[in-house]
Chains A and B, each alone.
Chain A
Amino acid sequence: MELRAYIVRRLLLLIPVLVGVILIIFALLQFFSPVQRAALYVRSPQQFRNLDQIIEKYHLNEPVYVQFFYWISEVLKGNLGWSKSVNMPVSDALLRFLPATLELLIFTVPLTIFIGIKLGITSAIHRDKPVDHVTRGLAIAGYSLPAFWLGLMLLMIFYGFFTGLFPPGRLGLDAEMVVSSASFQNYTYIHTIDGILNLRLDVVLDALRHLVLPVTTLTIINLAFIMRIMRSSMLETLNKDYIMMARAKGLDEKTVINKHARRNALIPAVTVSGYLVASLMAGAVLTETVFNYKGLGWWSVNAAVQLDVPAVLGFVLFIGTVIVITNLIVDLLYAKIDPRIRLG
């Protein structure tokens, strides 16, 4: 019951935070002239001829607070404007590019967190021993590699040298045909999941084959983050009295580490994991570009370069929501891990 009340309270807090995000976006909007802003509401190329009508219709000449009211009601209706860089409404573009990003996320996040935590713990247990130095060295090397360079190297080796082993893009031609055919139901547009739901193993395998390199790149680059946090918080935990006490109780080292230390050390790692999810959601721009993997990152950078203002604003609003929700989940995980937080 306590937990439910906590969740409800946190969900209610979501509202003011989202309003804040929207206010900031709206404030950003005010830097543009009414004519520029009218573009936000253009849904088709023909409408560009009637900008004055649009300004009139959406009250773009009126005081800021009135505009805010109208703007927010438009946003709530899901009308985020027209993204000229991809020639479709912003809301459609979001839905179109989200699945690709989610697909990357589904594989990258668990892999990074799992390996990062394991390595962090190993490193902490063998502090200042060779194992520790090697793990830390490798993690830092991975962290310092530029994504485009690592990505290109991987492509050179696994696409160029081993011809076509792990290709770029999201799907091969054959699988693309299957996915776009009428008999294939696209439930989520996440190809691996849809493939399983449609019982098309070939699609799943092809999607996985395309995922290997971008997921590897992202994992290598983000690994050090989690690993280092986990290592330092594990070292701190291992110095705690209750760890000494657990050893004094006669527990074996495995129980001491896995039961008493790990869960206590997990909280900072959870924070960073939340950040990782949010930042991957915002788009692994370089990785997506290198592997021609068209997700949110690719779309948003493309939009920014082409001064596609409605697209950028819509994207920022979306990411704001994602970050707020991620934070909520992180907080819920805290409460799940640590009984002291449940009441707070």
Chain B
Amino acid sequence: MAKKSDTLVQIRDLVVRFYTYEGIVKALSGINLEIQREETLGIVGETGCGKSVTAFSIIALPPPPGRIERGEVLLNTNGSTIDILKLPRERLQDIRGHKISMILQEPSAALNPLFTIGDQIAEVLIRHRSETFIKMALEELERDIEAAEKSGSSFRAWVYRTYAGIYRSLLKNRRSLKARAASRIPFLRRYRRKLDAVLRKEVVGLLREMRIANPEGVFDLYPHELSGGMQQRAVIAMALACRPKLLIADEPTTSLDVTVQAQILDLIRDLKEEFGSSVLYITHNLGVVAEICDRVAVMYAGQICEVAEVKELFKRPLHPYTRALFEAIPRPGRGFVSIKGTVPNLVNPPPGCRFHPRCPRATKICSQEAPKMVKAGRDHLVACYHYR
């Protein structure tokens, strides 16, 4: 449950289009959505309805050949509001992985097969929090210098001082020429070891928080040497390394088997509490939604058709599409129920309400004008003329 009801991210009138050979795919047509602080918001919908595109667009990374045509993604942090989509590239990169981070569906694909788990997690830390770790490395070096001087080994003290000098230049400038040159010179490049050790300690701690057994060992493993569940934990560690304000989870448990799925869900829930992050949870599984989300947005064909609190939605689904979704959940002693018709082609989406060709309640107006979002109860929004 959201404790404070202030908004963390506000998506306003987001339009994303894909320019393909078959035509312009209207992937998202005016999405409005709010994510509150410390809440878990679920987005449900069928494959291809634009759930993932919404998620990726929040960090201005629509999957190619997608293009963000219009809209705002407002991020409220430290009392100020910024529009992510209008940020210059560098500031945008400062936000990605730091304030907003991401977990993908397929952990084995989300990890680069050529680098160790530890490497890939440390990469995030050094990207966004290099200052902290360089300072830590410097502190340790100073201790080493003292120890070396005490034991009378002036050569060693001199070596450590040289290293410390490199770190100081790094503190001043992240792309310090001195440090970059030193990384290429034998022996001198050993200065990195201190920083690597500091990073390693931090990453191992993170891995332990992800409930990975033997985090020390896992640090040096390559992704293919881990099971799917372990890989997803590593990805989560990567996403949470900088304690982001918002974690976007794009179907993170779909490719895992059921027991591991439950563990990962628990993990995400606990870590969210611990870190005070918000979670945007994308899934097509209503069971998972009930399990983890505070609020849910239902998407259909590039539009949001209903937003409500989880309990409310499960008790009182209003939009015909939402009702059909609930109907389609398989139950024992009953045949499979499916929604009539097929998902519309988003190159030429149906006019008016996009669901009307498949809707049992459709009337003339549904095919003429798209329904607006209306308030249908406390925290319950629905885009339908006939929800009553």
Stretch touching chain A among B111-119, B179-187, B207-215, B298-306: B111-119
CA of A105 to CA of B19, assembled, Å? 45
Establish whether residues B61 and A244, one from each chain, have CB atoms under 8 Å apart when the complex forms.
Answer: yes
The residue that B127 contacts in the complex, of A241, A250, A260, A339, with Cβ under 8 A, is: A250
- Contact A337 to B114, CB < 8 A, known contacts A247-B61, A248-B101: yes
- Shortest distance from the beta carbon of B261 to any chain A beta carbon, whole Å: 19
Within 8 Å of chain A (Cβ to Cβ): is B97? yes
Q: With a CB–CB cut-off of 8 A, which chain A residues contact B114?
A: 263-264, 337-339
Within 8 Å of chain B (Cβ to Cβ): is A126? no
Q: With a CB–CB cut-off of 8 A, which chain A residues contact B96?
A: 247-250
Within 8 Å of chain A (Cβ to Cβ): is B263? no
Within 8 Å of chain B (Cβ to Cβ): is A245? yes
Establish whether residues B222 and A250, one from each chain, have CB atoms under 8 Å apart when the complex forms.
Answer: no
- Shortest distance from the beta carbon of B237 to any chain A beta carbon, whole Å: 12
Q: With a CB–CB cut-off of 8 A, which chain A residues contact B97?
A: 248-251
What residue of chain A has the Cβ atom nearest to residue B94's Cβ?
A250
CA of A241 to CA of B102, assembled, Å? 11
The residue that B63 contacts in the complex, of A244, A338, A339, with Cβ under 8 A, is: A244
Interface bracket on A: 20 to 34
Establish whether residues A242 and B127, one from each chain, have CB atoms under 8 Å apart when the complex forms.
Answer: no
Within 8 Å of chain B (Cβ to Cβ): is A240? yes
Within 8 Å of chain B (Cβ to Cβ): is A252? yes
Within 8 Å of chain A (Cβ to Cβ): is B224? yes
Number of B positions contacting A (CB below 8 A): 31
The residue that A241 contacts in the complex, of B90, B106, B115, with Cβ under 8 A, is: B106
What residue of chain A has the Cβ atom nearest to residue B64's Cβ?
A239
Establish whether residues A338 and B127, one from each chain, have CB atoms under 8 Å apart when the complex forms.
Answer: no
What residue of chain B has the Cβ atom nearest to residue A252's Cβ?
B93
Establish whether residues A245 and B113, one from each chain, have CB atoms under 8 Å apart when the complex forms.
Answer: no
Most buried by B among A250, A264, A338, A340: A250
The residue that B109 contacts in the complex, of A241, A247, A340, with Cβ under 8 A, is: A241
Establish whether residues A249 and B127, one from each chain, have CB atoms under 8 Å apart when the complex forms.
Answer: yes
Q: With a CB–CB cut-off of 8 A, which chain A residues contact B279?
A: none
Establish whether residues B123 and A249, one from each chain, have CB atoms under 8 Å apart when the complex forms.
Answer: yes
Establish whether residues B95 and A240, one from each chain, have CB atoms under 8 Å apart when the complex forms.
Answer: no
Establish whether residues B61 and A250, one from each chain, have CB atoms under 8 Å apart when the complex forms.
Answer: no
Establish whether residues A250 and B124, one from each chain, have CB atoms under 8 Å apart when the complex forms.
Answer: yes
Establish whether residues A241 and B123, one from each chain, have CB atoms under 8 Å apart when the complex forms.
Answer: no
Within 8 Å of chain A (Cβ to Cβ): is B238? yes
The main secondary structure of chain B at its interface with chain A is mixed
Within 8 Å of chain A (Cβ to Cβ): is B98? yes
Within 8 Å of chain A (Cβ to Cβ): is B161? no
The residue that B238 contacts in the complex, of A241, A249, A260, A339, with Cβ under 8 A, is: A249
Establish whether residues B113 and A340, one from each chain, have CB atoms under 8 Å apart when the complex forms.
Answer: yes
Q: Mark A257-295, 1 if CB is under 8 A from B, else 0.
A: 000100110000000000000000000000000000000
- Shortest distance from the beta carbon of A56 to any chain B beta carbon, whole Å: 62
- Shortest distance from the beta carbon of A248 to any chain B beta carbon, whole Å: 4
What residue of chain B has the Cβ atom nearest to residue A248's Cβ?
B102
Within 8 Å of chain B (Cβ to Cβ): is A323? no
Q: With a CB–CB cut-off of 8 A, which chain B residues contact A251?
A: 93, 97, 123, 127
Within 8 Å of chain B (Cβ to Cβ): is A246? yes
Most buried by B among A244, A245, A337: A245
What residue of chain B has the Cβ atom nearest to residue A251's Cβ?
B127
Within 8 Å of chain A (Cβ to Cβ): is B35? no
Within 8 A of B (CB), among A81-100: none
Q: Mark A303-344, 1 if CB is under 8 A from B, else 0.
A: 000000000000000000000000000000000011110000
CA of A276 to CA of B224, assembled, Å? 31
Within 8 Å of chain A (Cβ to Cβ): is B159? no
Within 8 A of B (CB), among A214-254: 239-242, 244-252
Establish whether residues A242 and B95, one from each chain, have CB atoms under 8 Å apart when the complex forms.
Answer: no
Q: With a CB–CB cut-off of 8 A, which chain A residues contact B353?
A: none
Q: With a CB–CB cut-off of 8 A, which chain B residues contact A247?
A: 61, 96
Most buried by A among B93, B94, B109, B235: B93
Establish whether residues A339 and B222, one from each chain, have CB atoms under 8 Å apart when the complex forms.
Answer: yes
Establish whether residues B61 and A241, one from each chain, have CB atoms under 8 Å apart when the complex forms.
Answer: no
- Contact A249 to B112, CB < 8 A, known contacts A241-B104, A241-B106, A339-B222: no
- Shortest distance from the beta carbon of A115 to any chain B beta carbon, whole Å: 23
What residue of chain B has the Cβ atom nearest to residue A261's Cβ?
B112
- Contact A246 to B102, CB < 8 A, known contacts A251-B127, A340-B224: no
CA of A264 to CA of B101, assembled, Å? 23
- Shortest distance from the beta carbon of B241 to any chain A beta carbon, whole Å: 9
Establish whether residues A248 and B59, one from each chain, have CB atoms under 8 Å apart when the complex forms.
Answer: yes
Within 8 Å of chain A (Cβ to Cβ): is B128? yes
Q: With a CB–CB cut-off of 8 A, which chain A residues contact B94?
A: 250
Q: With a CB–CB cut-off of 8 A, which chain A residues contact B63?
A: 244
Q: With a CB–CB cut-off of 8 A, which chain A residues contact B64?
A: 239
- Contact A242 to B222, CB < 8 A, known contacts A248-B61, A252-B93: no
Establish whether residues A246 and B112, one from each chain, have CB atoms under 8 Å apart when the complex forms.
Answer: yes
What residue of chain A has the Cβ atom nearest to residue B90's Cβ?
A252
What residue of chain B has the Cβ atom nearest to residue A338's Cβ?
B114
Establish whether residues B113 and A264, one from each chain, have CB atoms under 8 Å apart when the complex forms.
Answer: yes
What residue of chain B has the Cβ atom nearest to residue A243's Cβ?
B112
What residue of chain B has the Cβ atom nearest to residue A240's Cβ?
B109
The residue that A338 contacts in the complex, of B95, B113, B238, with Cβ under 8 A, is: B113
CA of A337 to CA of B112, assembled, Å? 12
CA of A247 to CA of B98, assembled, Å? 12
Q: With a CB–CB cut-off of 8 A, which chain B residues contact A248?
A: 59, 61, 96-97, 101-102
Q: What are 17 pairs between A and B in contact, CB < 8 Å?
A: A241-B110, A244-B104, A244-B110, A245-B110, A245-B111, A247-B96, A248-B96, A248-B101, A249-B101, A250-B95, A250-B98, A251-B123, A263-B114, A264-B113, A264-B114, A338-B114, A340-B222
- Using A241-B104, A245-B238 as known contacts, list a sample of 11 further A-B pairs with CB atoms less than 8 Å apart, ordered by residue number in A: A239-B64, A242-B112, A245-B102, A245-B235, A249-B96, A250-B95, A250-B124, A260-B112, A264-B113, A338-B113, A340-B224
Which residues from chain A sit less than 8 Å from chain B, CB to CB? 239-242, 244-252, 260, 263-264, 337-340
The 5 closest A-B pairs by CB, nearest first: A250-B97, A241-B109, A249-B97, A250-B96, A248-B102
